[in-house]
Amino acid sequence: NPSTPSNFIKNVITEDLKSGKVKEIVTRFPPEPNGYLHIGHARAIWINFTLAAEFGGKTNLRFDDTNPVKEDTEYVKSIQEDVKWLGFEWEELRFASDYFDEMYNRAVLLIKKGKAFIDDLSADQIRETRGTLKSPGSNSPYRDRSVEENLELFEGMRDGKFSDGAKVLRAKIDMSSPNINLRDPIIYRISHTYHHNTGDKWCIYPMYAFAHPLEDAIEGITHSLCSLEFEDQRPFYDWVVAECEMPNVPHQYEFGRLNVEQTLTSKRKLKLLVDEQHVDGWDDPRMPTISGLRRLGYTPEAIRNFIYETGISKTQGVVDLQMQEHFIREDLKLKAPRTMAVLNPLKVVITNYPEDQNEWFEVENNIENPEMGNRQVPFSREIYIEQDDFMEVPPNKYFRLFPGNEVRLKNAYFIKCNEVIKDEEGHVVEIHCTYDPETKSGSGFTARKVKGTIHWIDASQAVPAEFRLYEPLIKAEESDEEIDETEEKEEKTFLDQINPNSLEIVQGFIEPGMKDVVPQDKFQFFRHGYFNVDSKYSTPGHPVFNRIVSLKSSFKM
């Protein structure tokens, strides 16, 4: 979808263009390079890029890299890759850190205007004197330092004269403001930390809430779109733009965060999963990162359609995981070839089929999409079927293979089970069947009917493959409605919610025609669901398949 559904931000933009308040729409997507992008970010990306594009405007990709402790070039790289892969093109690639000089100068301007001061209180003391929602905070004893002293100390901070935490620069606003964000917020802190972009040039770094409005103003952003947790920051955002006398005046608008059932959308938590090796990296197919979803087998189209359908609103409800899955099924339905794979194989010998014979069946690649053409599937005396498709003692209404029963082999013949071969421990190792040549698929045979159809792979040409079946990483009922929990304690407890059965690895076989599949090839395996060739563990001749999603869903749009 090239445009957004009707929404409140679109109304604002339409008005702003009509009234001449702005001539061109400029938005930005401003990730902090402290982790990989996740499905929640896809909403922010989509909103920023699509809204600008539908009004002929443009969007910057800006790295909000003002906190060097957590940032890394690995993230800078992955974020660019993911935004591109999702199908969006940025106008300019920017780094907030490129504006450090200008930010410093604007901070000096605030000091000169008597709007900022150097505070010697510790971070803890500042927090304690901030007050609460119900009670005002108290002024710092350093609040009335002279402009000259403040300028000198700020320069000293910049020149490395003080250690981390010894001093901060605070905006001088109002310690009794009902909005706590306006109670003399910290705007610069000391951190003797190497920065991925500016190296050792700086040992003071601007706080996000101060830096962000300046970044927007510097880039001429007209509409600064962000998620709802920044709503309370808006008054300070406007204060910064005004008091710093920025020539361009951007405005902030907030939309609801995207939360998906059983899905973590906090980089902090996702990073913990990676660091503590609960997953095999940021792109583990169970991760809700864009790279994880890509490796699992999601397509950009499916993600965009899903995001579109969740819309833009101010509410932050939790979206059904089934809705996300619905969109990948929809996208692959007509695109993915439908082939056969046997996951837990059991050998079947067709005793009346000649040993030195084989034949090929012509099979449609996708019965719902004839344009995908046909392929050849071999058949011979020995085949593999699923262990689940045979039972020695079947329960009621079991229509698959059991002694004495006849089933249809998909695209081939009817076979009937005559004998069960077991090993010394009594495990079934092989089934002996006979086939009826009259029943060949496509021959129009109607003399008798069978109730079960099962799939199979010709044993003589079967290609071994591995199948990885996933369940959500987080147990049901747990989602991430995370807005602002910063406590270490919280981070630990979500680890208790990890599903210990999120990955099952199964060995089996695929059709010989699939032996040259390459990573990211996608298939629908008869009865098993949609699968994607894994880009990390596949080797030539031995593909590993990730199950993207099973076939069935109770989800209704």
| Candidate segments 25-33, 135-143, 186-194, 286-294, binder of ligand ATP by CB under 6 A | 25-33
Q: Catalytic residue among 257, 400, 468, 522, which?
A: 257
Q: Is 251 in the site for ligand ATP (CB under 6 A)?
A: no
Smaller CB separation from ligand ATP, 40 or 543: 40
Smaller CB separation from ligand ATP, 227 or 532: 227
CA 276 to each of CA 281, 287, 492: distance values in angstroms, whole numbers, following the listed order: 10, 14, 11
Nearest distance from residue 141's CB to Mg ion, in Å?
32
The DSSP bridge pattern shows strands 453-454 and 406-409 to be parallel
Binding-site partner at residue 226 among ligand ATP, Mg ion, none, CB < 5 to 8 Å by type: ligand ATP
Smaller CB separation from ligand ATP, 196 or 268: 268
Backbone φ and ψ for 530, nearest 5 degrees, come out as: -95, 135
Q: Is residue 174 helix, strand or coil? A: coil
Distance CA 384, CA 371 (A): 29
Q: Is 43 in the site for ligand ATP (CB under 6 A)?
A: yes
Q: Catalytic residue among 167, 267, 269, 522, which?
A: 267
Minimal CB distance to Mg ion: which residue?
32
Distance CA 501, CA 224 (A): 41
Annotated binding residue 64: yes
Q: Is 472 in the site for ligand ATP (CB under 6 A)?
A: no
| Count of other CB atoms within 10 angstroms of residue 33 | 23
Distance CA 422, CA 427 (A): 5
| Number of shown-chain residues binding Mg ion (CB under 5 A) | 1
Candidates 4, 9, 27, 31; binder of ligand ATP (CB under 6 A) is 31
- End-to-end distance of the chain based on CA atoms, in angstroms? 17
Which residue type occupies 464? P
Nearest distance from residue 32's CB to Mg ion, in Å?
5
**Of 57, 79, 32, 336, nearest to 219 (Cα)?**
57
Q: Is 183 in the site for ligand ATP (CB under 6 A)?
A: no
Residue 449: CB partners within 8 Å, gap ≥ 6?
none
Which residues, numbered 469-528, are part of the site for Mg ion (CB under 5 A)?
none
Candidates 41, 58, 172, 528; binder of ligand ATP (CB under 6 A) is 41
Binding-site partner at residue 150 among Mg ion, ligand ATP, none, CB < 5 to 8 Å by type: none
Return the ∠ at Cα 127 (arms to 126 and 129), rounded to 5°.
65
Q: Is 267 in the site for ligand ATP (CB under 6 A)?
A: yes
Nearest distance from residue 227's CB to Mg ion, in Å?
8
Candidates 27, 50, 233, 265; binder of ligand ATP (CB under 6 A) is 265
| Candidate segments 30-38, 163-171, 209-217, 500-508, binder of ligand ATP by CB under 6 A | 30-38
DSSP 494: H
**Of 517, 505, 513, 557, nearest to 541 (Cα)?**
517
Distance CA 374, CA 460 (A): 21
Q: Is 227 in the site for ligand ATP (CB under 6 A)?
A: yes
Nearest distance from residue 72's CB to ligand ATP, in Å?
13
Q: Is 223 in the site for ligand ATP (CB under 6 A)?
A: no
| Number of shown-chain residues binding ligand ATP (CB under 6 A) | 15
Q: Is 32 in the site for Mg ion (CB under 5 A)?
A: yes
Binding-site partner at residue 31 among ligand ATP, Mg ion, none, CB < 5 to 8 Å by type: ligand ATP
Annotated binding residue 257: yes
Nearest distance from residue 233's CB to ligand ATP, in Å?
11
Q: Is 189 in the site for ligand ATP (CB under 6 A)?
A: no
Which residue type occupies 213? P
**Of 375, 344, 306, nearest to 528 (Cα)?**
344
Smaller CB separation from ligand ATP, 43 or 455: 43
- For residues 260 and 319, is the Cβ–Cβ distance under 8 A? yes
Binding-site partner at residue 266 among Mg ion, ligand ATP, none, CB < 5 to 8 Å by type: ligand ATP
Smaller CB separation from ligand ATP, 190 or 319: 319
- For 397: left if phi > 0, alpha if psi spans -120 to 50, otherwise beta; the answer is left
- For residues 353 and 381, is the Cβ–Cβ distance under 8 A? yes
DSSP 401: B
Q: Is 257 a catalytic residue?
A: yes
Q: Is 250 in the site for ligand ATP (CB under 6 A)?
A: no
Is 54 exposed, middle or buried (CB count within 10 Å of its CB: 0-12, 13-18, 19+)? middle
Candidates 53, 61, 107, 226; binder of ligand ATP (CB under 6 A) is 226
Tokens matching residue 383? 């085949």
Annotated binding residue 258: yes
Annotated binding residue 74: no
Smaller CB separation from Mg ion, 10 or 189: 189
Candidates 4, 10, 25, 40; binder of ligand ATP (CB under 6 A) is 40
Residue with tokens 């601007």: 206
345 half-sphere exposure, CB direction, 13 A CA radius:
23
Binding-site partner at residue 227 among ligand ATP, Mg ion, none, CB < 5 to 8 Å by type: ligand ATP
- For residues 167 and 153, is the Cβ–Cβ distance under 8 A? yes
Annotated binding residue 358: no
Q: Is 32 a catalytic residue?
A: yes
Q: Is 32 in the site for ligand ATP (CB under 6 A)?
A: yes
Distance CA 210, CA 230 (A): 13
Nearest distance from residue 130's CB to ligand ATP, in Å?
21
DSSP 219: T
182 half-sphere exposure, CB direction, 13 A CA radius:
17
- Give the chain's length: 557
By CB under 5 A, name the binding residues for Mg ion. 32
- Residues at the binding site for L-glutamine are 64, 208
Which residues are the active-site residues? 32, 257, 267
- Residues at the binding site for ATP are 32-34, 257-258
By CB under 6 A, name the binding residues for ligand ATP. 30-32, 40-41, 43-44, 226-227, 257-258, 265-268
